[in-house]
A and B are shown apart, each in its own frame.
Chain A
Amino acid sequence: MGSPSRFGDRAFEWLTMAMAGAVALLVILVGWQLSRDSMLAIHQFGWNFLVSTTWDPVAEQFGAAPFIYGTLVSSLIALIIAVPLSIATAVYLTELAPLSIRQPIISLIEMLAAIPSVILGLWGIFVMIPFLRDYPFPFLKKYFGWSGLFTGPIYGVSMLAGGIIIAVMILPIITSVSREILRSVPNLQREAAYALGATRWEVTRIAVLSYARKGLFGAVILGLGRALGETMAVTMVIGNTPQIVLSLLKPGYTLASVIANEFTEATTELYLQALFEIALVLFGITILANLLAQLLLKTMGTTQTTRAVQ
């Protein structure tokens, strides 16, 4: 082998190394850029930014608490709806469904994952919101109003509507990652339980679900990471009002939606910097969620889990 090809080898390896290293650089770049452009706001408000409930662009008082609250509550609603449904569907697809219908259902779930957020939002505005306003919301208010969660005037656009639309967005990812995890449970586990005379449900519960607990938790956290950063669909149905109220029928606001709505309207330097800081907070929260999710999934010993649909 001559030296020219040695050089070619060296150069090609370095080139690909630089490209692969780009992912690490990107994470640093994002963190650096967001911190740099929010420096002014960070100095001005300090830690108070995270707990202050005032968001007043005119008086130049900025606090992120209503958005952090909205992001957490809407994501929590989404998880409460999506987690049982997704995991049950994953169980159905790996343990119960006839082989012939598994692939069609999986394809349909992949199609759901392919629908852009903005289109789900469009559907949310014109189909889901009117429906929620006319039927389920009055019902919840009448029979569960005493809990304090379902009180006040019904507009349709609300924290609950935001949570529901996020749930739809994260159903496919939690389902497909859970499915991969359940598939990685060794058949020996199931056979052992069957041999003891367990019913199908007992096999699933004792041998499969408890074995896969850690990975399923990872799938849920991965879904949480997606939920926290979901932007367009939520922005279109959550009502975009910065307030901290118990009632889920009232409008809310999330970190991602305030950026989407107000970024191009930020007229003053401090306003823009406050929005950059909101993006920094969002980036921090989602990175943490994703780190945790990947750690749980990677230590499960499955290799394919993170590829999934999205």
Chain B
Amino acid sequence: MIKASGGDRHRWRKFKSGLASTLSFSSALLVIAPLALVFFHLVISGATSVNWDFFTHLPAPVGEKGGGMANAIVGTLELLALASLVGVPIGVLGGVYLAEYGSARINWGLRFVADVLNGVPSITWGVVVYGLVVLRFKSFSAYAGGLALGLMMIPLIMRTTEEVLLLVPNGYREASLALGIARWKTIVHIVMKTASKGIVTGILLALARIAGETAPLLFTAFGNRFWNHDLAEPIAALPLQIFAYAISPYDDWHRQAWAGALILVVGIFFINVLVRFLTRERTATVL
């Protein structure tokens, strides 16, 4: 077959192969390019605006120089804590069910639904929580924002928890059950304990994922220029503040938006590095 195609044809095929390799390499570079560009501009424009005031002061009124995002930073942390109250128990226990109980068919279905749910646009959660909570209590609130983010966490944590539980060798379960330990105690004290690092990793990844979410907070947490003293009232969040400042017409606010963006990205990357550290440890030991 190769003989019949002749030398020219062979060279042409080699050329095509080389061209395809070059193109796919260039594609990889193009995919990474936005990351490099965004990061470059974040550092250039953000670093000059981050100072001590940024972490300790409230936003300054229009026209006044300086000010910070202290309330937004704290607000984001409060929202993440509230979200965890919803997302972690439901996600982790749901993951336990998928890994330890249920029939193959039902679990396939639940997994399927969880994955579909994962693809629901984040703004949908904002709208739904607005309809369920904000309209009913007639007020934007930290609770509503936390709930919207928490609902987003559920399918994420459920799937990662299930995956790490399935990595626990069955021998552990059998050994425990053979000692007469109840099944639920086996699951809680042996299986979940063995996989605890993996479960924490999944929770951290979910937090990193929702920390930068803006759309679900627009009409739930709503944002606040001052400190929040009551979780039943609107609360500031870093992504909301970045959005508000980015679309404003003031140069000073644009600078603040870049600074906020830099802090947010650094925070998210910090969680990701932490996760990498945890997972490296995990592969080194049993799990």
Contact = CB atoms under 8 A, between A and B. Distances in A.
Chain B associates with chain A = yes
Interface of A: 1, 5-6, 8-9, 11-13, 15-17, 19-24, 26-27, 29-30, 33-34, 36-37, 84-86, 88-89, 91-93, 95-97, 105, 108-112, 114-123, 125-127, 168, 171-172, 175, 196-197, 199-202, 204, 222, 225-226, 228-232, 236, 256, 259-260, 263-264, 275-276, 279, 282-283, 286-287, 289-291, 293-294, 298, 306-307, 310
Contacts of A290: 115-116, 118-120
Contacts of B213: 116-117
Interface residues of B, number: 96
A108 B32 contact: yes
A84 B117 CA distance: 27
B30 A85 contact: yes
Contacts of B19: 201
Given A121-B246, A122-B246, A263-B127, A30 B96 contact: no
Given A88-B24, A105-B32, A197-B1, A111 B239 contact: no
Interface string B23-57: 11101101110110110011001000000000000
7 contacts: A5-B182, A20-B110, A88-B27, A115-B38, A199-B17, A283-B124, A298-B112
B33 to A, nearest CB: 9
Contacts of A36: 131
B25 A92 contact: yes
Contact of B93 (A15, A93, A97, A306): A15
B261 A276 contact: no
Given A88-B27, A263-B218, A16 B101 contact: yes
B66 interface: no
Contacts, number: 284
Given A23-B110, A89-B31, A230-B121, A120 B214 contact: no
B167 to A, nearest CB: 12
A19 B209 contact: no
Nearest to A173: B119
B82 interface: no
A11 to B, nearest CB: 8
A112 B31 contact: yes
